[in-house]
Chain A
Amino acid sequence: MLMEKNKMDIFINGKEIKVSEDETILSAARREKIHIPTLCYMEKLLPIGSCRLCVVEVEGCEKPVAACKTPVVPEMKVSTDTQRLRDMRREILSFILMTHPLECDQCELKGVCTLELLAKEYGVEAPASGVTSPRPRTAEFSTPAIIYKPYRCIACGRCVSACQEVVGRAVLALKGEGIGAAMEVVNADKCISCGECLSVCPVAALADAGMNELDHSDKGKRPKKTQTVCTYCGVGCTFDLNVVDGKAVGVTTNHNIGTNKGSLCVKGRFGYRFVNSPDRLTTPLIRKNGKLVEATWDEALDLVAKKLTSIKKDSGPDSITGLTSAKCTNEDNYVFQKFMRAVIGTNNVDHCARL
């Protein structure tokens, strides 16, 4: 491979690293698997620079800088884990925990929450006097699909950036100063209920209202996640369907994979709820005296097989037609057309692709 012109050397914790000029300290460190804690940074967003947990020392600079926002400079010497930095980070975490209660047992993020893990790593505990939260437990949000819990908000600004940069809607903004700072809805009309904000919130201050329904009986139950593909449009977004007690309660996304890289629209994010509908068909039905009545599988399938066989015999295979489905899997579609072609003996198979 050709050496690119704009490559340069920097040093992180004494290690020499090749970087290109458009990189930040954080991206260089991540590539080299050097750990720098972050809370507000996300690869798919422009650096926000609000949490300051990513502070590092650069030789020759008096004050530590935010690694997520600081571009590399040739020969720069960076330290990521000095006593001074550890103290600073501890202070930042203590400040956050003044308002954000460590009620991890009741939180759906327990065990995977960056804040919880960092608090452990840095040995920071909840203030003995309890949290001083000037913020309410819940507040109205821009869509009924999402519950906003301001008391959990740590004002990192991820949701604000995501709504602006990824979705292009600018529904949210950060308001207030110091321990009063929190996200607020400023443009509710523009919201398209896509849940991008919810997917980037690191502390579950935003939650799927569907999940909330379970809170009473199943508080603290961890959902089982299964990666699958959205059933609606042709984009084919991938997500994890979350299930508690045999009920779909939400979807979560992974920001690095698939066509959608963690983004979804309202149908993908919240449209899964139809699977729980009490209207789902649960048993075969057969028309008797003009009415559809319940039947066993054997009755229904024998009837279909018998009728298809006799129609085929009397009127020929081409008198039978089949519509396969753009909502079913490849496997379902394959077996359907094979059934029409090999068993019925006709090519009368189509679907609503054209419609």
Chain B
Amino acid sequence: MAGLAATLGSGAMTNSVEDLSEAEVMLVIGSNNTETHPVIGMRLRNAARYRGAKIIVVDPRRTGLVDDSVLWLSPPPGYDIAIVNAMAHVILEEGLHNEDYIEEKTEGFEEFKKALVPYTPEYAEELTGVPAKDILKAARLYGSANKAAILYCMGITQHSKGTDNVKSLSNLALLCGQMGKRGSGVNPLRGQNNVQGACDMGGLPNVFTGYQKVGLPEVQGKFEKHWGVELSDKVGLTVVEMSNQMMEGNVKALYVMGENPLVTDPDLTHVEEAFEKLDLLVVQDIFLTETARAADVVLPATSFAEKDGTFSNTERRVQLVRKALDPPGSARLDWEILADISTRMGYEMSYSSGQDVFEEIREVTPQYAGITYKRLGREGLQWPCPDEKHPGTPILHTKGVTRGSALFVPIEFRPPAEVPDAEYPFVLTTGRDYYQYHSATMTGRVKLLRDACPESYLEMSPEDADKLGVSDMSVVKVSSRRGHVIARIKITPNLSAGIVFKKFHFYEGAVNRLTNPVLDPTSKIPELKVTAVRIEKHDGPAPEPESQGMCLM
């Protein structure tokens, strides 16, 4: 979320689900939320159906929300900036921008304005194939609304220039002063249930808790004092950099808590090789995942149902997780295992409970300082919540943005790192399914969910299927510059010719054997959404989804 942090000073969702449904216009871009964030998807659709909200969908696929939208723009994956810049161009041209807001609350406008000059709707049409008149219409809708909100998801961030994508959206919102009020803002929908919390807690190589920067003397000093040890001021490695350094022999050990990188990381074959070079792989999880099977030590942990603690959702709402069950066998709490190892390594950690840990979090994290378990109650609290009297913050930037004045950043369109060519003529993009979740470690064990989405097909348009001479359930070999997988075909009218789609949940035929690990230079997010591939008919059988132990029904 580096894009928003740079332009606004905070990388989180600016608004809340509740107020967003008041927006008159919603620009939903790169977010198939009817599948990925179903309950938000329901709210958006109802806003359209019952409150007359006008939804504009920008997505290469015909997503579920398109049925309830007034406009669907479908640029190829990786071409969003061209569209967003052209919308801003039109808004300026037609005087729909908010001069007062720009004057009072922002900086960098003149440069931004200059950079927009070439982005006429006609030029954007040339780049993306989206009709100029649709871009014009989208710009006028967004630009003339009193309350207009932008929502986006991995479709925007999982690109080699994801940070630029986000900044271009932030530019658009600032241009129209759509910030700091109900039904507005720039709203990244976070994928996994506690991604927000993992980031808030400093589960990132460049920040401590609350986004306090590694390397700043006052931050280093604060944590050194609090933790009573000297700390490294060198920014650490990101996921993808870690496996690169394993290949180089510079990284010898990896400790994994509750993640399954051997399914979810890009360019899997490379990651597998890298893991083999490790001297020590420790995996702490609730199931024997693909990654755990490769481990030297596996530590049994507890699920959400067996622990007390907090999660922070996509709208920055910190909520209590409460223990409903005892852990199975001798499984232990995640933090308890870590504290135990820590003590065995000579650094005593003796927390008595989750609440005890939370008290320490409050002390070192300004955004969480006013939150207590007691105050969380049944509804939770939205950070920032600086003191115990503070009611929490459902909408950010109501009194100007966090960084002082909001920053316009001129953004140039650049094509994705891999574009289709004669050898790899299709664009493959990836995503999730409504019935499955991440690497399917949990959902794959619920028969209902497994049955509803048993394997991940390669989805393609009827035109492409005709051209290749394949039909539903045909078996094909999909190859990229990095590897290949075998998959069955599913034909769908929801894709345009030249674009194919595969879900990433399953180890069998894992789409991440194909994906490109090229990183966004700032956010270090890999370009999972755009891979050039070749598709050929295949004679052998398709991989059968391995049957995981299923529980109940």
Chain A interfacial positions (CB closer than 8 Å to B) = 143-145, 165-168, 192-194, 209-210, 213, 224, 226-238, 241, 243, 246-248, 254, 257-260, 263-268, 270-287, 292, 297, 300-305, 307-309, 311, 315, 317-343, 345-355
Chain A residues within 8 Å of B223, by CB: 341-342
Q: Is B206 an interface residue (CB 8 A)?
A: yes
Q: Is B402 an interface residue (CB 8 A)?
A: no
Chain A residues within 8 Å of B292, by CB: 281
| CB within 8 Å for A281 and B286 given contacts A236-B314, A258-B319, A343-B342 | yes
| CB within 8 Å for A259 and B264 given contacts A305-B341, A327-B258, A336-B338 | no
A285 to B320 CA separation, bound complex (whole angstroms): 31
At the interface, is chain A mostly helix, strand, loop or mixed? mixed
Question: For residue A341, which residue of chain B has the nearest CB?
Answer: B231
Q: Classify chain B: how many residues form its interface, as a range.
A: 35 or more
Chain B residues within 8 Å of A144, by CB: 448, 451, 553
A276 to B447 CA separation, bound complex (whole angstroms): 12
Q: Are A304 and B297 in contact (CB under 8 A)?
A: yes
Chain A residues within 8 Å of B333, by CB: 332
Query: Which listed residue, A271, A283, A332, touches B446 by the CB 8 Å rule?
Result: A271
Q: Are A232 and B437 in contact (CB under 8 A)?
A: yes
Q: Is B473 an interface residue (CB 8 A)?
A: no
Chain B residues within 8 Å of A319, by CB: 250-253
A227 to B295 CA separation, bound complex (whole angstroms): 35
Q: Are B437 and A275 in contact (CB under 8 A)?
A: no
Q: Are B257 and A285 in contact (CB under 8 A)?
A: no
Chain A residues within 8 Å of B317, by CB: 236, 259
Give A175 Cβ to nearest chain B Cβ, in Å. Answer: 24
Q: Are A233 and B193 in contact (CB under 8 A)?
A: yes
The residue among A230, A304, A334 with the most chain B CB atoms within 10 A of its own CB is A334
Q: Are A234 and B319 in contact (CB under 8 A)?
A: no
> Which 7 A-B pairs rank lowest in CB-CB distance, beginning with the nearest?
A282-B329, A236-B313, A329-B309, A347-B236, A325-B258, A265-B38, A281-B300
Q: Are A231 and B442 in contact (CB under 8 A)?
A: yes
**How does the 8 Å CB contact mask read for B417-446 relative to A, with 1 for contact and 0 for none?**
000000000000000001101000011011
Chain A residues within 8 Å of B296, by CB: 286-287, 307
Q: Are B255 and A235 in contact (CB under 8 A)?
A: no
A337 to B357 CA separation, bound complex (whole angstroms): 13
Q: Are A335 and B349 in contact (CB under 8 A)?
A: yes
Q: Are B320 and A323 in contact (CB under 8 A)?
A: no
Query: Which listed residue, A193, A247, A292, touches B295 by the CB 8 Å rule?
Result: A292
| CB within 8 Å for A229 and B321 given contacts A305-B345, A347-B234 | yes
Q: Is B171 an interface residue (CB 8 A)?
A: no
Give B60 Cβ to nearest chain A Cβ, in Å. Answer: 20
A311 to B323 CA separation, bound complex (whole angstroms): 36
| CB within 8 Å for A234 and B448 given contacts A283-B329, A324-B257 | no
Chain B residues within 8 Å of A258, by CB: 319, 378-380
